[in-house]
Chains A and B, each alone.
Chain A
């Protein structure tokens, strides 16, 4: 058993209107000349410290809890799970 740091990022699906991201992109980033930025998305990050046999088990454990407890809503969100040992 080891401890794994699992980072979950929940962001809005592409194509869904996200006024916060749009405003930051348009009125802050572009307005100040950072034209190389072509897209901005905003997400919520959860960092979990998980005890598991290996990193794959840590990942599937977290994915399961995200699905079952609806940490994200598949109707509107994408989810990204990354494990660090």
Chain B
């Protein structure tokens, strides 16, 4: 990485086009939060499916050993690399990968992660330039709907497209795993909402941990009960509504005490496939998650909700992602070649 930019540099460096303006030294934008999380706070509805019919706290019992052995996370990086005739071109990188925990408790890569790097721009405006180049270019405009010709709008659209690719990669990786381990006793824990084709299995062994609380599913009275959960307590089971994905069962779980902290400190929302087994195992899965608190994922700032194997997954993906220095070097060569 980044082969794409190298190829681009070698392909168009000789083209003395004064309209190409290379941007060197800008920072990467990393998307830390799960891609399925809305960018702005919102409310949504939910259907409580807890047998008691309430969201009230339920003690899950004493954690012992976790049943998870596979962990999935995704990442993305994007950066404005040039303007061509005033049109911003964004370099984007997204990846998703799975790590597995061996009997020795060490983390190993489960195959190669899925990765994609591409340039993001409105194709209709730059088609001529990239037409013959063998590089991955993603059109930031959806078919039949042209964006206004405003660089900031293009940048926002590119951001969304990179996130979409990341989500897609995560879904692909998850689906592959589900196919590979269908019928086994192995469990996959994913960062964020569960994705992929989980709905095609009767009882897939997959659980998602959502660290963000941008969406509020309950009125304030019930929300207070959730915020008041103590360590080792979960909320009642519910089905989040208003999603354009197959339904899942969900519940809140307090991992760490929030005394003196934000109300949401140590609070996660768990997602699991909508099936009877989830109802039966909700406490056990909660105990697994509590067991995953050690080791602590410090120095991550989200350590109260970030489980260590997920962080390991994230670190693994980051180690493979193109660094700012490498991109800077390529762009500098590019700019120098054009000078």
Q: Do A and B bind each other?
A: no
Q: Residues of A at under 8 Å CB distance from B?
A: none
